[in-house]
Amino acid sequence: MVKVSHDEKILVVGAGAFGLSTALALRQRGFTNITIIDRYYPPVRDGSSNDISRMIRSDYNDPFYARLAKEAIALWKSDIYSPHFHQSGFLLTSEVANDPHLEKTKDVLRSQSQTFREFSSTEEIRRTIPGLKDLQDPLNGYFNPSSGWADAAGANKAVADRLSDLGVSFITGPRGTMHSLIIDSKSQVTGVNVVSGDPLRASKVILATGAWTNRYLDLEYTIVGSAQPVGFIQLTPDEAQRLADNPVAINMTSAVFFFPPSPDNILKVAYHGHGFEVEDSSDGKQGRTVSAPQRDSDNAASSYLPDDADKYLRAGLRKFVPSVAERPWTRGRLCWYTETPTGDFIADYHQSVAGLFIATGGSGHGFKFLPVLGQYIADCFEGTASAEVQRKWQLPSPTRTKQKIVVNDGSRRGPPRRMLDGLQQAKL
How many structural domains does the chain have? 1
Other beta carbons less than 10 A from residue 158's beta carbon: 21
Instruction: For residue 4, tell me if it sits in a domain.
Output: no
Position 404 scores a pLDDT of 81
Instruction: Judge whether 197 and 191 are in contact, CB under 8 Å.
Output: no
Instruction: For residue 290, tell me if it sits in a domain.
Output: yes
Position 282 scores a pLDDT of 65
CA distance 328 to 119: 32
Collect the ranges in the chain with pLDDT lower than 50: none
CATH code assigned at 324: 3.50.50.60
**173: DSSP letter:** G
pLDDT tens-digit series, residues 25-69: 999 999 999 999 999 999 999 999 999 999 999 999 999 999 999
Position 407 scores a pLDDT of 85
Q: Pick from 177, 175, 99: which is nearest to 413 by CA?
A: 99
Position 38 scores a pLDDT of 98
Strand-strand pairing, 140-144 and 117-119: antiparallel
Beta-strand (E) ranges in 152-198? 169-171, 178-183, 189-194
Position 406 scores a pLDDT of 84
Phi/psi of residue 424, each to 5°?
-65, -40
CA distance 244 to 261: 6
Phi/psi of residue 327, each to 5°?
-65, 140
CA distance 278 to 293: 8
Instruction: For residue 285, tell me if it sits in a domain.
Output: yes
Instruction: For residue 2, tell me if it sits in a domain.
Output: no
How far is C-alpha 61 from the geometric centre of its chain's CA atoms?
18
* Domain limits for position 346: 10-426
Quick check: pTM over 0.85?
Answer: yes
200 SS3 class: strand
Position 400 scores a pLDDT of 64
Phi/psi of residue 378, each to 5°?
-60, -35
pLDDT tens-digit series, residues 5-36: 999 999 999 999 999 999 999 999 999 999 99
Instruction: For residue 3, tell me if it sits in a domain.
Output: no
Q: Is the peptide bond before 145 cis (omega within 30 degrees of 0)?
A: no
pLDDT tens-digit series, residues 209-232: 999 999 999 999 999 999 999 999
Instruction: For residue 1, tell me if it sits in a domain.
Output: no
Instruction: Judge whether 54 and 150 are in contact, CB under 8 Å.
Output: yes
Torsion of CA 250, 256, 257, 262, to 10 degrees: -160
Q: Pick from 136, 56, 125: which is nearest to 317 by CA?
A: 136
Q: What single string gives the DSSP state of each residue in 81-113?
A: GGGGEE---EEEEESSTT-HHHHHHHHHHHHTT
